[in-house]
Every structure is written in structure tokens, then in C-alpha cells.
Chains A and B, each alone.
Chain A
Amino acid sequence: EPEVTQTPSHQVTQMGQEVILRCVPISNHLYFYWYRQILGQKVEFLVSFYNNEISEKSEIFDDQFSVERPDGSNFTLKIRSTKLEDSAMYFCASSVGGFRTEAFFGQGTRLTVV
């Protein structure tokens, strides 16, 4: 069964450092998303990506964040100058056709900023 794959499963970084979270969406999917979930809090939308550009982003997704699809398979989230409050689970998801179709989520990357 096809699945969304995220690496690494756990990333520890020092405050102020840059991190790149990686995702391999399902191969025939066209829409890609990043969400985060701070421990004990709601899942929060960060950004959606379609046709090699951002289709929507939330207020959380400020200049500190960027996304890229560097090749035909990877979808990355870059966080520049990490802060303690960036510590969270980051989930990548993909879907065939926006949220009118089923979105599949990866297992998540746990980011810990120390």
C-alpha cells in the first residue's frame, strides 16, 4: 500500500540552527501539505503546495519557513533560525485532488529545539 514517508523520525537541533524536514509523498498525488502538532495541542495547518507553488499558507507559515519540491519525489520543509517554540511533530500529507479527496499523512518528524 502506498504511503507518505518522512525523514528523519526525530530531529534535535540547537536554537538558531536551520533544519530541513523531508517527505516523499505518494507518487501520483498532486497536492502536498505540511501540518504541525505541538505536544498536547491541536493539529495546525502550515502550508499547501500544488503545481510547484504554494496554494495556501497559514499565519504560522511566516518568513522563517519555506517549502520546496526539489525533484520529482521529495517535498521539503525548511525552518530557518529555529526557536524553542518550533518544537513539535511535523506531518507531511499528500492527496490526489485537494481536500475533496483523501489526504494521506506520514508518520511525522518530531522536532526538538534545545
Chain B
Amino acid sequence: QKEVEQDPGPLSVPEGAIVSLNCTYSNSAFQYFMWYRQYSRKGPELLMYTYSSGNKEDGRFTAQVDKSSKYISLFIRDSQPSDSATYLCAMSDSNYQLIWGAGTKLIIKP
């Protein structure tokens, strides 16, 4: 069963806080894990891409994958009002199809 669960939020935090966004999944065949950011009325924009388990850091963003728990996370440090958007997790097995979470709406309050 290909299913990805993500809390839709909204998640509201003050500017400068550390944000933690999470997804769980049921298909152990998933190997590729992505986080996308989507602003209102725009297409998804890739933020982070990880393969298999482990951590990946890019600037203020850190992605973590725990395949044993079927759990992935995106951390945003020093959050800014411009980070306010919907964050979508997506994942794939060895084929071309991305399976998406519902997206978490994030609001950063100045």
C-alpha cells in the first residue's frame, strides 16, 4: 500500500524558532525522499532530496530519514516569515512515480 501521512496543520511559530515537519509512510520500498515547498497558487519547489536513511543539511534546512521507523523530518532553523508556505513530503521507490503527503501549512509570525 502506497500511503504517506502528513499533518495538514496549520503550524504557527514565531520568527526565529526551529520548525519541525514530519511525514510517516507505510511502504518499505520507498528509497527516495523529497521535501517540496509550495507557495499559494504556485507549483511545488524542491527543497531537499535524500536517498535512503540519514541526514542531509542545506543552509537552514535539515532533512532526516529513518527508514526503520518509516519516518522523515524536515527542520528549519532561524525561521523567517518568507518560509510561510505549505511543505509537502514526497517519496518514491525505484520507479518514476512520486507519492505525496497532504502538505503542512506553515505560518511564521513576525
Contacts and interface: CB of A to CB of B under 8 A. Distances in A.
A45 interface: yes
Main secondary structure of the interface of A (DSSP, over half): strand
B101 A42 contact: yes
Interface residues of A, number: 26
B96 A98 contact: yes
Interface string B25-53: 00000001010100001111110010100
Interface stretch (B14-22, B71-79, B87-95): B87-95
A102 interface: yes
Chain B, interface size: which category?
20 to 34
A104 B46 contact: yes
A108 B96 CA distance: 20
A111 to B, nearest CB: 14
B46 A102 contact: yes
Given A43-B90, A102-B49, A48 B96 contact: yes
A44 B43 contact: no
Contacts, number: 55
Given A42-B103, A100-B32, A106 B95 contact: no
Interface string B49-61: 1010000000000
Interface in A61-114: 91, 93, 98-100, 102-108
Given A100-B32, A105-B44, A108-B42, A45 B101 contact: no
B85 interface: no
Interface of B: 32, 34, 36, 41-46, 49, 51, 88, 90, 92, 95-103
Interface of A: 4, 31, 33, 35, 41-45, 48, 50, 55-56, 58, 91, 93, 98-100, 102-108
